[in-house]
Structure 1
Amino acid sequence: MWQPAFHRTRRRTPYDEAMRIAVLDDYQNVARTLADWGSLPAETVFFSGFLGHGDDAVCQALQDFDVVVAMRERTPFTAERLQALPKLKLLVTTGMRNAAIDLDAARDQGITVCGTSGSLAATAEHTWALILAAARRLDVELLSASRPRAIDQPWQQTLGTGLAGHTLGVYGLGKVGAQVAGIGRAFGMEVIAHSQNLSAARAAEAGVELVAKEELFARSDVLSIHLKLSERTTAVVGAQELGAMRSGSILVNTSRSAIIDEDALVAALGSGAPSLAALDVFDVEPLPANHHLLQTPGVIATPHLGYVTEEQFSIFYTDAVRDIAAWVAGTPLNVLS
């Protein structure tokens, strides 16, 4: 009977003890400079290194913290992990959605979960960075220009692909997908789109052509994925879809890795259709240095940079401080659980 009473105390009693805040996965060591952490009545500790995938290391590091600020989905908080953190009272995630937090378990354990606002432009911009990098093979040419080479070794290594007049496919025409589509039109591309609930009227409003899923994969010279991960969309891009893509086409994923069947993608790249996969998201992050995707010809990889901009992080951390201050005052903001 002690456990329910403990839950009520954590959720409903104003916090009046010395408080400790952990800010996780601050890879670039910028969190302390992007928000006024000193305004909070607490000791704030910034973790720049990834704590690891195992529960033991994460829980040991966070045992003495009352508040944790998580950067997106870098460190998951499962039911088991939350249960092993009895002092945790507030969990703030950057963004208003985080599939790596078990919200039901947090609610059951009396942990308040809050989110922050953010900017959708960062992901759309990085999507286009990947499209352009793939089309012009910057993964190869940047190294060619910067590394010493023999006098008889060509300075230029590849022949790029133009985008104007080619077809951009957008799988998922939500807010980010619509931004990507608009930029594609500005490049002079024909833009087509598909998603399960996309209507012809919504497509026309975005200036794109609504097509069937099969046609999306068959017609696209560049196909960019912008779906939310769910049971319905897990592995929704598999061998059949990839097999319909054109030789020389480019697949881009800045959404979630589980949307694509990884084994099917490796096999498809081996067949030359698509010829390139520009990926910013992976099943395991940080991506191990010996991961088989990094050994697969045709893969252009970035380390989940879609949301990593100074402007975005300023919003994340400023809102996180505001969330914590509001929670301390007994009036929590942006509550997810």
Structure 2
Amino acid sequence: MMMNCVILDDYQNVALQGADWASLRDRVEVRVLTAHIDDEAELIAALASADIVIVMRERTPFPARLFAALPRLRLLVTSGMRNASIDLQAARAHGVTVCGTASSLTPPVEMTWALILGLARQVVPESLAMRRDGLWQQSIGKDLAGHRLGLLGVGRIGSAVARVGLAFGMEVSGWSPHFTPERAAAAGVAFAASREQLLAESDIVSIHLVLGATTRHLVGAGELALMRRDALLINTSRAAIVDEAALIAVLESGRIGGAGLDVFEREPLPPGHPYRTLPNVLATPHLGYVTRDNYATYFREAVQDIHAWLDGCPVRSL
């Protein structure tokens, strides 16, 4: 029996180019949706005939009510091996197998530094001023060498970000709920005894924590008030780790120097959102994982996941 597969949110229309989908053609009919569907009723209608759905990261959440509305769904494949927007308990309750793929830590590390450098040296406004208005040297850049980079989260990604900071000649410190002096020494960074200390002492704060009950709104109004007035906040992790309303307030008042953001509470970022227009914000549309090599891995392993599931032995199950 031919299965129906829907690939969601293929914004760049590259999914079918990145893997051997032809190997499935005798067993699976594949349909690609390039536009994001925000309306749940419209999404349910689009997926009503799907036995298999491929999701890209957390672009389209799968809560319990969506599983309940899609009785035909049997396999859900996500890029990466962690997806907080999928209700795994509901998937199991509805008999849906959820599988993932590998995901490289290198692209988000590189994206973090793109935001740090772009914001510190005012790359976008300076380039636009020169191209659009014919102006020359409108700002003074922020130095990295000799200044402190504070990392909220020093896991695999945070440790890699730390190594680049050290290569730039920065002082690097780290904190997380379970970070220890021994782990700090192993990562080559200074141990911050508290997040308050890290926020107060850092020139640049970069977030690399997993979103969960203990980290949601970990950085709120009180924490942001501790930051230096010219400090920069970088978030390529998860938007909800920072209280969005509190961050917008300090950015609008100029209470901190600026923010480099690649993740947002609602994606795509709605038109008219303050992050689109605040002059001290460098915002990018969740590009941290969006690279050719990462996409090739995602779609190649998604095809492998489908083959394995069809053969009755699913791999990389979540």
Q: TM-score under structure 2 normalisation? A: 0.97
Runs of 4 or more above 2 Å deviation: 270-273, 292-297
Secondary structure at the residue paired with 1:170?
A: strand
Is 2:273 aligned against 1:273? no
The alignment of Structure 1 onto Structure 2 pairs a total of residues equal to 315
* Per-residue deviation, 1:273: 3.3
Shift of 1:158: 1.3
The 10-residue stretch of structure 1 (137-146 or 119-128) with the greater mean CA deviation from structure 2:
137-146
Q: Which residue type is aligned with residue 172 of structure 1? A: G
1:212-264 Cα distance to aligned partner (Å, 9 max, x none): 21110011101000011001111010111111111111100001111001111
Give the distance between the partners of 1:48 and 1:200, measured in 2 at CA: 46
Structure 1: runs of 5+ lacking an equivalent: 1-16
Q: What CA distance in whole angstroms lies between the structure 2 residues aligned with 1:142 and 1:61? A: 42
* Structure 2 counterpart of 1:257: 239
Residue 148 of structure 1 and its aligned partner are, at CA, apart by: 4.5
2:21 aligned partner: 37
TM-score by length of 1: 0.91
**Structure 2: runs of 5 or more not aligned:** none
- In structure 2, which of residues 107, 110, 122 is the aligned counterpart of residue 122 of structure 1? 107
User: Which residue number corresponds to residue 127 of structure 2?
Assistant: 142
Answering whether residue 139 of structure 2 is matched by residue 158 of structure 1, we say yes
* Matched residue type, 1:103: L
Cα-to-partner distance string for 1:311-333 (whole Å, 9 max, x where unaligned): 11111111100000000000100
Give 1:44-63 correspondences, 5 Å limit: 44-52=30-38, 54-63=39-48
Write out aligned runs for 1:139-288 (5 A): 139-149=124-134, 154-211=135-192, 212-288=194-270
Q: How does 1:17-28 map to 2 (within 5 A)?
A: 17-28=1-12
Residues 290 and 271 from structure 1, CA distance in 2 versus in 1: closer, same or farther, beyond 3 angstroms?
Answer: closer
> Does residue 81 of structure 2 align to residue 99 of structure 1?
no
Identity %: 50
Q: What is the deviation of 1:271? A: 3.6
Query: RMSD of the TM alignment (CA)?
Result: 1.0
Partner AA of 1:70 in structure 2:
V
Structure 2 match to 1:131: 116
Deviation at residue 50 of structure 1 after TM alignment: 0.6
Secondary structure, counterpart of 2:73 in structure 1? coil
Distance 1:294 1:106 in 2: 35
**3-state DSSP class of the match of 2:110?**
helix
CA contact (8 A) 1:254 1:306 kept: yes
